[in-house]
Structures are given as C-alpha cells and as structure tokens.
C-alpha cells in the first residue's frame, strides 16, 4: 500500500480545483453548521484515539460542547488538536454534504464569564447545572481548517470539495453574525 500517494490525493486534486470565492464559501459553511447540532469529535494522544458523537452550539465562530466527562478527555489532556465531522445522512452519490473541522480545543472553567455566557445562550439556568452530581465540562473548539464536501457546489461550477484555512477567530469576524 502506498499510503503517501493515497494521503496526497486531495492535496493534488485541490491544486487544480475550481474554487469558490472565500466570502461566498464562508456563507455556505456557516449555513451548514447552523442547520445541524450534532458532530463526531475525534480526539487522540499517542496510540489512543476516540471519536465521540456530541451536541454542539455554534457561537462567535467557535464550537461549544458540554460534556459530563468520558474518554475524549484522555485524548484532550495530551493533545488539544481535534477534528469535528458534521454530515447529512447518505442518500446518494450526487447528494453528498459533509464537513470536517480541524481545530484547537480548550476547556472552559466552570462558572467563569465565558461559561456563564454559553449557559445564557442556551437558556440554561446556572442553578440547574449546580444541582447536578457531576460538573458539566465545556469544550471550546476554535476552527483552523474546514473541508466541506457539497454536491451542490458542482452544479454551481465549482469543485464539490472546498476548503478553508482559518486564522484564530476568523469565522467570528466573517461577514455575518453567528447568533
């Protein structure tokens, strides 16, 4: 098996791809993200990997995920790099819609302003969480790269796979509000 050749497939293909205007692509990316609320989050460290289905909120150009715990934190302890996958159910080859978001995860300390802001955004009273027997951890993911596969792009004259490399917080500074 030539793993390097297989791994370089999209890199080589992207060099010749018909690319969408960056601002237009950002609009489609945000729309897709907002139309969904669940992703698969991959974490890993050393020979340990974990992929967890989890609900997210999208706010200020970042992904916010509450969790009571689990093995994903084993991966996060040793490696803050994560990948989120958001996708539609497969209904046919000409109707593919999926996104991979590579980013950096941070754990937001409970009861800080940032934590409380997300509770308010979700309309969750802090008193309700304080009554739980376990602390709800908040993971904040700042995207650094987004790969978006959308069959509709082909009909618009672009490659069906588009990608963006992002600077820190760039999605929050893009042309429309996240809220």
Domain boundaries of the chain, sorted by first residue: 3-173
Across all residues in the chain, what is the average pLDDT? 91
Residue listed under structure tokens 């489609």: 28
Query: Is 2.30.110.10 the CATH number for 3-173?
Result: yes
pLDDT at 175 over 50: no
Residue 129 CA: distances (Å) to CA of 79, 113, 120, 134, 149: 28, 15, 12, 9, 37
Q: Across residues 26-51, what is the average pLDDT?
A: 96
pLDDT at 137 over 50: yes
What's the predicted TM-score (pTM) here? Answer: 0.90
Phi, psi of 26 (to 5 degrees): -60, -40
State how far the Cα of 89 lies from the Cα of 91, in Å rounded to an integer: 6
Residue listed under structure tokens 């907002």: 34
17 CA to centre of own chain: 23
Phi, psi of 11 (to 5 degrees): -60, -45
Model confidence over 70-87: pLDDT tens digits?
Answer: 999 999 999 999 999 999
Q: Across residues 52-80, what is the average pLDDT?
A: 96
Contacts of 74 (CB under 8 A, 6+ apart): 43, 45, 48, 50
How many C-alpha atoms does 161 have within 13 Å on its Cβ side? 11
Q: Across residues 39-57, what is the average pLDDT?
A: 97
pLDDT at 16 over 90: no
Q: Across residues 140-164, what is the average pLDDT?
A: 94
State how far the Cα of 3 lies from the Cα of 1, in Å rounded to an integer: 6
pLDDT band at 176, cuts 50/70/90?
Answer: very low
């Amino acid at each position: 098996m030539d793993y390097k050749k297989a791994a370089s497939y999209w890199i080589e293909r992207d060099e010749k791809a018909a690319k969408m205007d960056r601002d237009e692509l950002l609009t489609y990316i945000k729309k897709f993200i907002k139309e969904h609320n669940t992703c698969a989050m991959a974490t890993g460290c050393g020979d340990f990997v974990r992929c967890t289905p989890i609900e997210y909120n999208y706010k200020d150009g970042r992904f916010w995920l509450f969790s009571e715990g689990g093995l994903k934190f084993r991966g996060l302890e040793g490696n803050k790099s994560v990948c989120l996958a958001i996708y539609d159910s497969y209904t046919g080859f000409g109707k593919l819609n999926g996104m991979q978001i590579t980013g950096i995860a941070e754990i937001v300390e409970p009861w800080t302003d940032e934590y409380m802001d997300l509770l308010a955004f979700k309309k969750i009273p802090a008193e309700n969480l304080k009554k739980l027997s376990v602390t709800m951890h908040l993971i904040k993911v700042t995207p650094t790269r987004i790969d978006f596969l959308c069959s509709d792009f082909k009909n618009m004259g672009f490659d069906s796979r588009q990608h963006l490399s992002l600077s820190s917080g760039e999605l929050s500074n893009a042309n429309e509000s996240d809220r």
